[in-house]
Structure 1
Amino acid sequence: MGVVVSIAAALVPIVSTVVRLITSLRSDPVHANPTLANIRTVGDQQHLIQLARQDAQAAREEAEEAVREAEEAARREEAARDEAQRAIREVEERAREEREAAQRALRAAEEAGREAVRAAEEESQRAKAAQETADQAAKAAKEKAQAAKQAQEEAEERLKKGIQPVVVPSPQEVASTKRKVEYKEGLFHFAVAGVAGSGKSSLINAFRGLRNQSPGAAATGVTETTLAISRLTDPNTENPFVWYDLPGAGTLKIPDWQYFNAQGLYVFDCIIIVFDNRFTMTDIAILTNCKRFKIPTYIVRSKADSHIRNIMRENGYDSEEDDDARTKRKALYKAAREQYTAETRANIQRNLKDARLPDQRVYIVSNDTLYSIVKEQTLPTKMIDELELLRDLFSEAHSRRCVPRRSLP
């Protein structure tokens, strides 16, 4: 029982509180349920949110539509730009093709023009060449006719003078002549021709570096001392030269026109003709045949010192005058030398013209001067053509007979 009373006493405050609360609940004004208000608030908020979401969605959709429209506009613009560029490219391509076509047409026209010009020039050249050929043929025919006429006239003139046509030696005659003159392969064979007293033998001695009185010298004299070809070797064994002294004109009982072949002059490397005052018929025959056989010839006027001294004496020089004569002698020598060389060259030119032979040089020499150059290897102050004669003689022989070392294998 006591336990029950204790429990009831403990519950009294609670009961009182409950009664008070019930009384308050009964008497106090009642507000709306906050939960419902909260629910409404939340619902309103949710509605607003929903509306905001809808607005946002609409705005997003509008934005997306705007983006799509912008993108579409951009695509259309890009397509338009591409189309414009394509159109530009097409225009440029057509322009390029038209330009290239125009250039090709221009080049073709230019080439056609050039071809036409070339064809015209070629035709002109062909016509000119044909004309030149015709002119040359006409000229050749005229020259041939003139040559034939001249040959006929020369033949008639030669027959009148007793000069016969050139006769070509046979191989047997060439071999026989080589044996007769003791021709040696590898040597140079130089022949000297001239009338008696022209200084022919003295010239040969000077070429060989000998005085006329030296042992082995060619015989000299005013009358012809050579009736047959004399073969004279060079005293200097290092020189591959052989010198031949030919019989002078009028010393042999053979016609002048036969002299060249009869003496076998066609085997020599050159013929030196010692000129006196005028060409003999033998000299003319030698020059004519040498020209025919392409054998070099050298016209030489020797004894220049003697001739110049004679002119000096004619002009008043006296070697017995006093010492003042030295200056006068030099002046007289210079004048006499110039006179002698001028007269000699004019004389040779006239003789060649009279013989109907081409003009050629004459070498004016002194045998003493030539001897000094060959033997003593000095250059005298009174040289005229001696050194040039040696140069031309040996240069021609070398060019005709020698093989240049650079051409040897």
Structure 2
Amino acid sequence: MVLRARTDFLEAEERQRLAEEAERNVKPNLPLSELPRLPVRKRNGCVGWREEAERAGRKAREEAEARAREERERAERIAREMEEERQRFQAAAVAERLAAIAAREEKARCQRAIEEEAKLARLAQEEAEWQAREASEAARKAQVEKEEMERRMEKGIQPVVIPTVEEVQLAKAKVQYKDDVFHFAVAGIAGSGKSSLINAFCGMNNRDPGAAPTGVSETTLEISRYINLAHSEQFAWYDVPGSGTLTIPDWQYFNSQGLYVFDCILVLFDNRFTMTDQAILANCDRFKIPTFIVRSKSDQHILNVMKDMGYDADEDTDCREQFYHIAREHYISETRQSVKNNLAEANLRDQRVYIISNKTLAGVAKDNWPKKIIDEVELLTDLYSTAYLSSKFA
């Protein structure tokens, strides 16, 4: 198409040149001497030869001009067609280049999209594999910990459970913990006399208003707070539910009751030293909480020993003091040795056991000193010394 247009254009140029040359060759104003001599006719209707020549010249000139115009118009038309063809060709070439560029860009975009999807799929697969490995490792660790816990529990070794910061804050809020108050907690099995002991520390009788409720069965189901009116700004006493009244394993009793927030804990027992008592002492050592082992109801226990020795209150009134002193020494030595053995078996540090009577302790707390004192005075002295020597009152 382009070659044909080029050929037509050259032909048009050649025709236009020939037309212009023919026009130049036309001589409309030839001198009369050069005009061809034609026969002259007479005036009676014949035209002279000059006039005939002029007409012939004008006609030839008009024909040449017409041919020249036609050639120019044809050449111009061919030129326009060639220009349009050239523009169409350029537009087609540009469109083709743009289409090629667009195709390359689309191909590159598709390739990038494929690569990105492949990358995301690979990352997702790696994440899934990592999570699977983590889950498998966590399951394995949990199984190992479970087996280790079972093994330790079979051997009597209880797991160590550390409370979180949130659990500590909740436990403190539950007992109304204050930084400038020393908090004593009395813990032990149900029926060991915790409420009576707290009443004695606070200088109250069991029937006084505001005293901790007492009874044959366990009466404390929630931690209860009591104040010694003589030291209301310094000390607070807490009666902790007995472990025998709760469906909680011995090793969980310490954490479930939030005992880790107290400043001092008294482990109270009546007849026997239990696994719960051992767990409390072990956890207190971990948390660096001072502890006191206390055996209460000593007056009743000594009387029972006297009866086992053959004492009859109705018949042996004269021998009562003799029976009492013998039974008292036997009871004290047996209690101390029993606690010592229990601590050794539990791999706990050896510490003193305070043997008291709640009635005697209440009298000492009121500065009314009874005659039959065992460890009541030393217990009160050591308790308050521990409090005053702590950072609370530094």
Instruction: Tell me which interval the TM-score lies in, with the shorter structure as reference length.
Output: 0.5 to 0.7
Give how far 1:378 is off.
2.4
How has the CA–CA distance of structure 1 residues 364 and 157 changed in structure 2, closer, same or farther, with 3 Å as cutoff?
farther
CA contact (8 A) 2:180 2:392 kept: no
Deviations 1:319-353 (CA, angstroms, capped at 9, x unpaired) = 3337xx33x21111110100000110011111112
Distance in 1 (alpha carbons) for counterparts of 2:192 and 2:182: 24
Deviations 1:23-64 (CA, angstroms, capped at 9, x unpaired) = xxxxxxxxxxxxxxxxxxxxxxxxxxxxxxxxxxxxxxxxxx
In structure 1, the residue matched to 2:350 is 359
Deviations 1:82-111 (CA, angstroms, capped at 9, x unpaired) = xxxxxxxxxxxxxxxxxxxxxxxxxxxxxx
2:215 is aligned with 1:221: yes
CA contact (8 A) 2:297 2:357 kept: yes
Q: 1:349 aligns with which of 327, 334, 340?
A: 340
- TM-score normalised to the size of structure 2? 0.59
Q: Which runs of 5+ in 2 are unaligned?
A: 1-147
Structure number with larger C-alpha Rg? 1
In structure 2, the residue matched to 1:379 is 369
In structure 1, the residue matched to 2:381 is 391
Paired amino acid for 1:353:
A
In structure 1, the residue matched to 2:30 is none
Distance in 2 (alpha carbons) for counterparts of 1:155 and 1:400: 36
For the aligned residues, what is the CA RMSD?
2.2
Paired amino acid for 2:263:
D
Give how far 1:278 is off.
2.7
In structure 1, the residue matched to 2:323 is 332
Give how far 1:254 is off.
2.5
SS in 2 for 1:300: strand
Distance in 2 (alpha carbons) for counterparts of 1:157 and 1:331: 51
Give how far 1:281 is off.
2.4
Pairs within 5 Å for 1:46-85: none
Among the aligned pairs, what percent are the same residue? 61
Deviations 1:263-301 (CA, angstroms, capped at 9, x unpaired) = 111110111011123332221211110010110111100
In structure 1, the residue matched to 2:5 is none
Paired amino acid for 1:263:
Q
Distance in 2 (alpha carbons) for counterparts of 1:244 and 1:188: 11
Distance in 1 (alpha carbons) for counterparts of 2:205 and 2:223: 20
SS in 2 for 1:190: strand
Distance in 1 (alpha carbons) for counterparts of 2:333 and 2:236: 32
Paired amino acid for 1:183:
Y
CA contact (8 A) 2:254 2:260 kept: yes
How has the CA–CA distance of structure 1 residues 161 and 210 changed in structure 2, closer, same or farther, with 3 Å as cutoff?
farther
Deviations 1:360-395 (CA, angstroms, capped at 9, x unpaired) = 1000001111000112x0222210000100111111
How has the CA–CA distance of structure 1 residues 291 and 207 changed in structure 2, closer, same or farther, with 3 Å as cutoff?
same
In structure 2, the residue matched to 1:171 is 165
In structure 2, the residue matched to 1:265 is 259
How has the CA–CA distance of structure 1 residues 277 and 350 changed in structure 2, closer, same or farther, with 3 Å as cutoff?
farther
Paired amino acid for 1:329:
R
How many residues of Structure 1 are paired with residues of Structure 2 in the alignment? 248
Give how far 1:156 is off.
6.4
In structure 2, the residue matched to 1:283 is 277
CA contact (8 A) 1:189 1:243 kept: yes
CA contact (8 A) 2:189 2:276 kept: no
Give how far 1:157 is off.
5.6
CA contact (8 A) 1:302 1:365 kept: yes
Q: 2:153 aligns with which of 159, 164, 170?
A: 159
Paired amino acid for 2:383:
L
Paired amino acid for 2:267:
I
Distance in 2 (alpha carbons) for counterparts of 1:261 and 1:176: 12
In structure 1, the residue matched to 2:41 is none
Q: Which runs of 5+ in 1 are unaligned?
A: 1-153, 405-409
Distance in 1 (alpha carbons) for counterparts of 2:223 and 2:190: 14
CA contact (8 A) 1:249 1:280 kept: no
Give how far 1:399 is off.
1.3
The structure with more helix, counted as a fraction of residues: 1
In structure 2, the residue matched to 1:114 is none
Distance in 1 (alpha carbons) for counterparts of 2:193 and 2:251: 23
